[in-house]
Structure 1
Amino acid sequence: MKRILWILLLAGFGKLQAQELNARVTILAPQVSNISKPTIDALQRTIRDFLNNNKFSTESYKPTERIDCSFIITINSWDGGSGYTAEAQIQSSRPVFNSSYNSTLLNMSDKNFDFSYNDGATIDFSDQNYISNISALLSYYAYTIIGLDKDSFARTGGTTYFKKAQNIINLAQASGNAGWKAADGLRNRFWFNENVLNPVFSELRAFIYSYHLNGLDQLTDNDRGLTAIVAALPALQQMDKQKLGSIFPNVYFASKAEEVTNVLAKLNMQERLKAYNMLAEIDPANIGKYEGLKQ
């Protein structure tokens, strides 16, 4: 009997460690005077548990393989019942091989993070049915985070998860909540997902793979990583220039420009200027951050 219980405990522990995300959740309400700290703390724990304890894939992750991510949710108003208007900053990163450095993969602001939640309730998860906006929001970002992480390890490796996020969008559109439809604006969840699945941006997804696996992951051993990053840049020049202002490249380059500059600063002057010219054409919105390559 003891042996059976021990086996069950081990099986349960293994399942607990199989989840994909290692999420930190912070909830702020600086302008909301009618909400108590215990309410905020309880909501914070509930959201964290949803992200860290649900399985979003069929794969088993070791504790060290879980994806570091953070959700900073700012509540702008509360109706005193279940209705919250909020916005969120969602970030994720992945470790660079053989180093203590984590490289950002996602740094996205969501201005339409409104939801309903009853104090003390759990948040249920389903990838087949719309349950609530908070469940849909968290599931969408979980799949997006996993998809970007997969893209950094295998060329377009995150497609399965981006399609799961797309299914969440389709289920949530009838809810009437903002951010799920094309007509809700150009910088929302719908368009980010549309972009990552759009062949127009296939070069950018291929660059994410080359930059991380063939570039950053190789830097600690030799300079091949630098060569790989520079070699991957010309493909980005083939992207439709009219699409550079779209949310996917905009969000990605805004989070990577400074890092790319610091990494490529190790090149000689001739190679730095070559990289600068390409980056200035690919990402003119962040040209100021690339100026360091000219020094």
Structure 2
Amino acid sequence: MIKRFVFFLLLIGLGKLHAQELNARVQLLAPQVSNISKPTLEALQKTIRDFLNNNKFSNESYKPQERIDCNFVITINSWDGGSGYTAEAQIQSSRPVFNSSYNSTLLNMSDKNFDFSYNDGSTIDFSDQNYISNISALLSYYAYTIIGLDKDSFSKMGGTPYFKKAQNIINLAQTSGNTGWKAADGLRNRFWFNENVLNPVFSELRSFIYSYHLSGLDQLTDNDKGLGQIVSALPALQQMDKQKLGSIFPNVYFASKAEEITNVLSKLNGQERMKAYNMLAEIDPANIGKYEGLKK
């Protein structure tokens, strides 16, 4: 009986261990900051990684192979010798392509205002209902954004509940005085990225993410039908407001996807490649140089 009870507790423990959504790799750098010791940096790196990997950001359970691969490269620019850090971060996430070893990028975003306070040896607490600290808010915001984009790639507009959770983090953090949470803090910040993904103006882009991944990339290993699905999804993007193409969401998305889209669609015949090129050149003129490969 005791053995069965212990085995039951182990199963519960394993269930909790495998329930989380993220498989985050965290790298903390401080190349220009001489007063931070290596042990301090490594301890903070582990604390951030534990926050991302051990907290639950949804009510769903993820199997180990379903957890979302993501990378946080945080560069500390200065430290006041106490709890104050000024930093910037590069946040990247990806999802696997069905029946292949390839991972396709979903998010590759630079955050120049990743400043936070942290006392050495403390934990980072999580709450989606209260503002605790800027580091907690930053990590939670990106966790919800990563999950939202992943959901969008598997079901049409499936990420909306998570983008709304990220929006709630924004609302809670706006009184903190930290930069990046308000509309007035610039056009390429956390506020505007979240505003974009929830704005109906960009619904075609979110629908494209679904079609591109689930109906496109995920089908390529079995047949070439996926190529046609990707091309047929492009015209909807031409309906987006051209004045909005410079906004942060399409800008970040296409900057990370243009090269991959070109490589995938290069398998089309010459006429179809030119058709795809013309549409992409109109949809994403900022990356037209990357699409030139479709003209060859």
Structure 1-normalised TM-score? 1.00
1:239 aligns with 2:256: no
Alpha-carbon distance, 1:196 to partner: 0.1
Q: How does 1:41-120 map to 2 (within 5 A)?
A: 41-120=42-121
Q: Does 1:212 align with 2:213?
A: yes
Residue matched to 2:136: 135
The equivalent residue for 1:200 is: 201
How far did 1:5 drift? 2.1
Aligned to 1:75, the other structure's residue is in SS state strand
Match of 2:4?
Answer: 3
1:201-220 alpha-carbon deviations (Å, 9 max, x no partner): 00000000000000000001
| Alpha-carbon shift at residue 8 of structure 1 (Å) | 1.1
2:290 match: 289
In structure 1, what is the equivalent of residue 164 of structure 2?
163
SS at match of 2:154: coil
Q: CA deviation at 1:91?
A: 0.1
Deviation by residue 1:218-257 (Cα, 9 ceiling, x = unmatched) = 0011111000000000000000000000000000000000
Corresponding residue of 1:227: 228
Output the CA distance in 2 between the equivalents of 1:39 and 1:282.
Answer: 46
- Counterpart of 1:267 in structure 2 is 268
1:6 positional shift: 2.0
Tell me how far apart the structure 2 counterparts of residues 224 and 196 of structure 1 sit (CA, whole Å): 28
User: 2: CA distance between counterparts of 1:179 and 1:2?
Assistant: 53
Amino acid at match of 1:166: Q
Deviation at 1:3, TM superposition (A): 2.0
Aligned to 2:183: 182
C-alpha separation in 1, matches of 2:143 and 2:103: 18
In 2, Cα distance between equivalents of 1:116 and 1:126: 17
Task: Report matched runs for 1:26-45 at 5 Å.
Answer: 26-45=27-46
Counterpart position of 2:16 = 15
Letter of the structure 1 residue corresponding to residue 123 of structure 2: T
Distance in 2 separating the partners of 1:287 and 1:258 = 10
Q: Tell me the distance in 2 between the aligned counterparts of 1:226 and 1:256.
A: 15
Q: Distance in 2 between matches of 1:7 and 1:154?
A: 34
Query: One-letter code of the match for 1:156?
Result: M
Partner Cα separation in structure 1 for residue 100 and residue 93 of structure 2 = 17
Give, in whole Å, the separation in 2 of the partners of 1:67 and 1:195: 22
CA distance in 2, matches of 1:13, 1:150: 24
Secondary structure at 1:118 match in 2: coil
Deviation at 1:10, TM superposition (A): 1.3
Report deviation, 1:165: 0.2
Matches within 5 A, 1:244-259: 244-259=245-260
SS of equivalent to 2:5 = helix
Deviation at 1:116, TM superposition (A): 0.2
Distance 1:7 1:123 in 2: 30
Give me the whole-angstrom Cα distance separating, in 1, the residues matched to 2:7 and 2:213: 41
Give me the whole-angstrom Cα distance separating, in 2, the residues matched to 1:211 and 1:2: 49
Does the residue aligned with 2:293 lie in a helix, a strand or coil? helix
Write the letter of the residue equivalent to 2:95.
R
Report the RMSD for the aligned CA atoms in angstroms.
0.4
Deviations 1:12-39 (A, max 9, x none): 1111111000000000000000000000
The sequence identity of aligned pairs, in percent, is 88
Letter in 2 for 1:37: K
Query: What is the DSSP-based 3-state SS (H/G/I as helix, E as strand, rest coil) of the residue aligned with 1:220?
Result: coil
Q: Which moved more, 1:143-152 or 1:4-13?
A: 4-13
Look up the equivalent residue of 1:270 and give its one-letter code. Answer: Q
